[in-house]
Amino acid sequence: MASLWSETARYDSWLRVELAALRARVERGEVPAEAVEDAIERARFTLDEIHEVEAEVHHDVIAFLTVVARYVGDSSRFIHLGLTSSDVVDTAFALQIKQAVELLLEDLSAIRIVLRRRAIEFRRTPCVGRTHGIHAEPTVFGLKFALWENEFARHETRVREMLPRILVGKLSGAVGNFGHTDPELEELVMANLGLGVAPISTQVVSRDLHAEFLNVLAVIAGTIEKIAVEVRHLQRTEVSEAFEPFGKKQKGSSAMPHKRNPILCERLTGMARMMRGYALVGMENVALWHERDISHSSTERVVFPDACILMDYMLHLVLKVLDGMEVDEAQLKRTIHQTQGALASEKVLHALIEKGWLREQAYATVQRSARAAITERKPMADLLKADPEVTKVLDPQQIDSLVTLEPDYNTADFLLRRLGIVE
């Protein structure tokens, strides 16, 4: 990913656009065929030469064209014919984004494969579901992975849906009026480059497209952070239900040998904050003066390489976490029983209502028993059996059947089928 955003790669992309425009003019009979042959054979550059010229002219595109012209010779007069700098820069920018997206889609696909595998692996693993950080009801650990897989499926769809919009170039000239080119030339060049055509542009392609790209990356980073925060909570000492990978020779603290810190997930959490910052820069770049200023240019040179490299790194890192996550199933079981059956409170509530109790009466009775189970460390089933009002409508066997802590595996299987994770 880093190589796609190197300085050399940027100039290579510019040269690719210039040669595509030259070929199109030859194809239309506007330029001698030998001109493109000369250019293809001779066109080259070195970074040192470009830097040397740019130090004098303070214009990177002019420096690039000056150096290329030295190698091409007389035929160089046809290079950049009728174009403005942003015709080349923005079109080449789309080529770089296209290559970057191809790598990111590979990452997303790999993550979804791992998430589907782990959802199936833990489809029969009960655990506590939490709301507000507090024990709520039993659920299935595999559904965590299934939910994340579904989010990444949407991310993949988002990326693919935005590509026709954002992977566009332009050759509309200095203010977008095709003063020295024409729309047919633009369409021909973009087709040869494998890009779409910006339907209308000023001197630049509208930056809402680039903002969309950065915002989609930020949304993906949000899911990665969601996973990281979950693992960080599950790895806390008082929870100890799941753990990010930890190497045999890895050390957690310079002072405390017992430490096993969730450093990968903490790193991912921090990087998600950076990605949201890049998205904000993209939004700030949408509003430019008139047909164009260059306030966007300096920031894009930083945030686009950084955002793509960071996204690639985050996807690889979260893949490592998901693939190597250790799940302590025995601890999951201990956690479920920690509240002495109080997790079954809603089932008992519904049973009493079905027996004719008013909801307020049933709620108060079940809440009282659940609180006592948690605070006094007594089985909730025993507390309910000791309540004469409850036993008037529920016999001991019914209470025992209600105060069970097994999740509904049939529903879990249904959800996995709905998501296409299992058949």
| pLDDT, tens digit (0-9, with 9 covering 90-100), for 348-407 | 999 999 999 999 999 999 999 999 999 999 999 999 999 999 999 999 999 999 998 999
**Catalytic residue from among 109, 253, 295, 316:** 253
Mark whether 240 is an active-site residue.
no
> In terms of Cα–Cα distance, which of 218, 202, 215, 190 is closest to 294?
202
Percentage of the chain exceeding pLDDT 70: 100
Residue 252 has pLDDT above 90, yes or no: no
Query: Using alpha carbons only, what angle is made at residue 387 by residues 383 and 390, rounded to the nearest 5 degrees?
Result: 110
Residue 35 has pLDDT above 90, yes or no: no
Segment among 45-49, 178-182, 213-217, 250-254 with least mean pLDDT: 250-254
**Average pLDDT along the chain:** 96
HSE at residue 319, side-chain half, CA atoms within 13 A, is 16
Strand partners, 220: none
pLDDT tens per residue, range 197-210 = 999 999 999 999 99
Residue 44 tokens, joined: 């080259």
Mark whether 132 is an active-site residue.
yes
- Residue 250: the pLDDT is 86
**Catalytic residue from among 3, 58, 132, 258:** 132
Q: Domains of the chain (ranges plus CATH)?
A: 2-78 (1.10.275.10), 85-335 (1.20.200.10), 342-404 (1.10.40.30)
- Residue 249: the pLDDT is 86
Query: Using alpha carbons only, what angle is made at residue 217 by residues 216 and 220, rounded to the nearest 5 degrees?
Result: 90
Percentage of the chain exceeding pLDDT 90: 95
Residue 408 tokens, joined: 């509904």
168-169 and 196-197 strand pairing: parallel
Q: What is the pTM of this model?
A: 0.94
Residue 248 has pLDDT above 90, yes or no: no
Average confidence (pLDDT) over 216-229: 98
Average confidence (pLDDT) over 220-249: 96
